[in-house]
Chain A
Amino acid sequence: MKISPVWAVLLMVASAALLALGPLVLPPFYVRVGQLMLYSAGLAVAWTILGGFAGYASFGHSAFIGVGAFAAGLVEARFSGVAPPLLLLLGLAVGGLCCAVLSAAIAYPILRLRGTFFAIAMLGVSHVCAELNNNVDFFEGSLGLNFPAVAPKNLEPATFFYWLYLLAGLVVLLIAWQIRRSRFGAGLLSIREDEDTARMLGVPTERYKRLAFVISAVLTGQLGVIYAHSLGYITTDSVYRDDTNLSLIVYSLLGGMGTLFGPVIGAFMLVFITQVILGRLLDFHLFATGLLLVVLVLAAPGGVLGLVRTFLLRRRPAAAPAE
């Protein structure tokens, strides 16, 4: 499904403007849901740069949320005199840097694994980071870390963070979009389809995979920094979470694995389902997510966008018979 770039940009701008109105018209509960939707959408797109585009599905991306958040928090705590907006920028810079270093360091060995081995190895990485964070005093994971309030004084924090998530989400989406349209993106898609053949065609597969991995990690970390600030206080369990690890995959699976907007749709849908529809029925969450996974795998492996595409193809007249 190809939309011309001009239309795509107009659509994105219009959606962004519409979404920006959210905090001004919605009740507080829905503003918080909106925050979660935008945050999840951003994470989903960041994940999909590696998972959907290149086909390297990571089961442990919450590692980068955690690393970004804690790196930012630990540094910001030492510069408490600085003005809040600068602190946030500092946190973002440090969080991004740490995620870049970590991902670059493990990229060489871990990207040699394929498929499920890569997925589980990343889960392992996520758990190792979580355990170290919790057990080593320096990280203050078990005690918890406080974050300075960075919202401007005459603005509701909820509104501020809503708009911050919107902005961050748009940045992530734009980066992913640019990647998708570039030679780099075409290379990533070919890696997903058939890595060995791609290599034989001259695609620098190792370099591209590492680059996608680092970009994905840094963007995820940035969102983690914002998330930590919006919470105000985090412990290990706030950011290193297995349900986040799983959700990141489900967003792309639900919306359409491998597409650009699929993760956004998937994130919006899943957050809406769990927070709004099932909101009161906390006991039902695990069951519903599980059931969704089962149904998706069996009935709709292409996700929502896959279903749309199938529906559209059925309505088109059959292609001319091959010679």
Chain B
Amino acid sequence: MNLIAQTLADGLVLGGIYALAAVGFSLIFGVLHVINLSHGILVLLGAYLALIFSQALGIDPLLTLPLVMAVLFAVGYVYQRFLIQHAVDRSQLGSMLLTFGVALMLQNIMIWVFSPDMKNITPSWAFTSFHLGAVNFDAVRVSALFASLVLLCCLALLLKFSPLGRVIRATAQQTMAARLCGVNVRHVYALTFAVSAAFAGAAGIVIGIILPFSPADEATWTLNAFVVVVLGGVGSPAGALLGGLLLGMVSTLTAQYIGPSFPNVTMFLLLVILLLVRPTGLLGNAFSASR
């Protein structure tokens, strides 16, 4: 009984982080209809930037969050506006391959600059833990989860109530009509991507304080994001949260009860099955209202 409670708790914690790591990907898929295969590398970029900033400024990695998010916001804007935009109109396969190409290039650059070795940004208070009943939590994971949930809420509020959020949703639902209303769609797309990249970077920091990371992890995080979107739904933080939690629990349950090397198999099987049954996820496409 204790074991299953612990496993589920671990799954929830992991799931919250998966959700944050996937929400940016989900947003781009929902609004721009682009499958951003460089998502994982943006997550890692966040982690590496946090590493640099926290060392240079001598502060806790979590405190570098605003700075990292700002940098990735800018990077994301430029990336979408001046590169991906040109491939968006061709075909979905085109934008997939383009972003994959960029991911490979950035991965190589990261290997040159940072070396292929594992790094981490575990803070000094990392090794404290506390109990809640029979379940054990460690401080790092809990703060990571907390940060994830706060950020997801911020994004949800942004999308729902802010002018930017309204414009993004309108453009996603009816692009032509939005254009006719005077919306600069390219600018909106670029802003959406910028927001997505910022959150990807934030996720990178959160992941970086828990796990060691290296440039080779980028594919894992991109695929994770894809699975979360397929599970939970496209385009919404709520969908990302649902998908993330499901994935987190499936991962920990599989690792505990089937074997430590099987979570990926289960994840992919789940992915394939879901793609067949309900490709837009359990909560559906958040922007499909007008379709």
* Chain B interface residue bracket vs A: 35 or more
Flag A123-156 by CB within 8 Å of B: 1 or 0 each: 1110110011011000000000000000000000
User: Given A116-B93, A293-B98, 17 other A-B contacts at CB below 8 A?
Assistant: A57-B93, A119-B96, A120-B271, A121-B275, A121-B276, A123-B223, A124-B275, A125-B272, A131-B262, A242-B219, A253-B97, A286-B108, A287-B104, A290-B107, A294-B98, A297-B90, A298-B87
Chain A nearest CB, measured from B235 CB (Å) = 16
Residue numbers in B under 8 Å from A119 (CB-CB)? 93, 96
A283 on interface, CB distance cutoff 8 Å: yes
Chain A nearest CB, measured from B243 CB (Å) = 15
Q: Is the CB of B272 within 8 A of A249?
A: no
A115 on interface, CB distance cutoff 8 Å: yes
Residue numbers in B under 8 Å from A131 (CB-CB)? 261-262, 264-265, 268
Q: With A124-B271, A301-B94 as given contacts, are A113 and B276 in contact (CB-CB < 8 Å)? A: yes
A109 to B273, CA, bound (A): 9
A283 to B215, CA, bound (A): 13
Q: Could you show 21 A-B contacts with beta carbons less than 8 Å apart?
A: A110-B276, A117-B279, A119-B93, A120-B271, A121-B272, A124-B268, A124-B275, A125-B272, A128-B268, A128-B272, A246-B100, A253-B97, A286-B104, A286-B105, A289-B101, A289-B104, A290-B101, A290-B105, A296-B97, A297-B90, A297-B95
Residue numbers in B under 8 Å from A298 (CB-CB)? 83, 86-87, 98
Residue numbers in B under 8 Å from A110 (CB-CB)? 272, 276
Q: Is the CB of B98 within 8 A of A113?
A: no
A292 on interface, CB distance cutoff 8 Å: yes
Chain A nearest CB, measured from B217 CB (Å) = 13
Interface residues of B in 159-179 (CB under 8 A from A): none
A291 on interface, CB distance cutoff 8 Å: yes
Contact of B104 among A109, A120, A290 (CB under 8 A): A290
Q: Is the CB of B101 within 8 A of A291?
A: yes
Which chain B residue has the least Cβ–Cβ distance from A297?
A: B98
A314 on interface, CB distance cutoff 8 Å: no
Q: Is the CB of A290 within 8 A of B86?
A: no
A181 on interface, CB distance cutoff 8 Å: no
B118 on interface, CB distance cutoff 8 Å: no
User: Residues of B with Cβ closer than 8 Å to A?
Assistant: 35, 83, 86-87, 90, 92-98, 100-109, 111-112, 219, 223, 226, 259, 261-262, 264-265, 268-269, 271-272, 275-276, 279
Contact of B261 among A134, A283, A287 (CB under 8 A): A134
A284 on interface, CB distance cutoff 8 Å: yes
Which chain B residue has the least Cβ–Cβ distance from A126?
A: B268
Which chain A residue has the least Cβ–Cβ distance from B29?
A: A116
Q: Is the CB of A283 within 8 A of B268?
A: no
A112 on interface, CB distance cutoff 8 Å: yes
Contact of B271 among A121, A246, A289, A291 (CB under 8 A): A121
Q: Is the CB of A297 within 8 A of B87?
A: yes
Residue numbers in B under 8 Å from A253 (CB-CB)? 97
Ordered nearest first, which 10 A-B pairs have the shortest CB separation?
Answer: A293-B101, A290-B104, A290-B105, A287-B108, A286-B108, A294-B101, A124-B268, A290-B101, A131-B265, A297-B98
Which chain A residue has the least Cβ–Cβ distance from B90?
A: A301
Interface residues of A in 240-265 (CB under 8 A from B): 242, 246, 249, 253
* Chain A interface residue bracket vs B: 35 or more
Residue numbers in A under 8 Å from B97 (CB-CB)? 249, 253, 293, 296-297
Interface residues of A in 256-310 (CB under 8 A from B): 283-287, 289-294, 296-298, 301
Q: Is the CB of B87 within 8 A of A286?
A: no
A293 to B107, CA, bound (A): 14
Residue numbers in B under 8 Å from A287 (CB-CB)? 104-105, 108-109
Residue numbers in A under 8 Å from B100 (CB-CB)? 246, 290, 293
Residue numbers in B under 8 Å from A135 (CB-CB)? 259, 261-262, 265
Residue numbers in A under 8 Å from B103 (CB-CB)? 290
Q: Is the CB of B279 within 8 A of A297?
A: no
Which chain A residue has the least Cβ–Cβ distance from B264?
A: A131
A246 to B226, CA, bound (A): 17
Q: With A110-B272, A127-B264 as given contacts, are A286 and B107 in contact (CB-CB < 8 Å)? A: yes
A103 to B275, CA, bound (A): 17
Residue numbers in A under 8 Å from B98 (CB-CB)? 293-294, 297-298
Q: Is the CB of B264 within 8 A of A284?
A: no
Residue numbers in A under 8 Å from B272 (CB-CB)? 109-110, 121, 124-125, 128
Q: With A290-B102, A298-B87 as given contacts, are A113 and B279 in contact (CB-CB < 8 Å)? A: yes
Which chain A residue has the least Cβ–Cβ distance from B262?
A: A135
Chain A nearest CB, measured from B90 CB (Å) = 6
Residue numbers in B under 8 Å from A249 (CB-CB)? 97
Q: Which of B93, B102, B259 has the most CB of A within 10 A?
A: B93
A296 to B101, CA, bound (A): 10
Chain B nearest CB, measured from A36 CB (Å) = 20
A293 to B264, CA, bound (A): 28
A117 to B274, CA, bound (A): 11
Residue numbers in A under 8 Å from B261 (CB-CB)? 131, 134-135
A109 to B259, CA, bound (A): 28
Residue numbers in A under 8 Å from B101 (CB-CB)? 289-294, 297
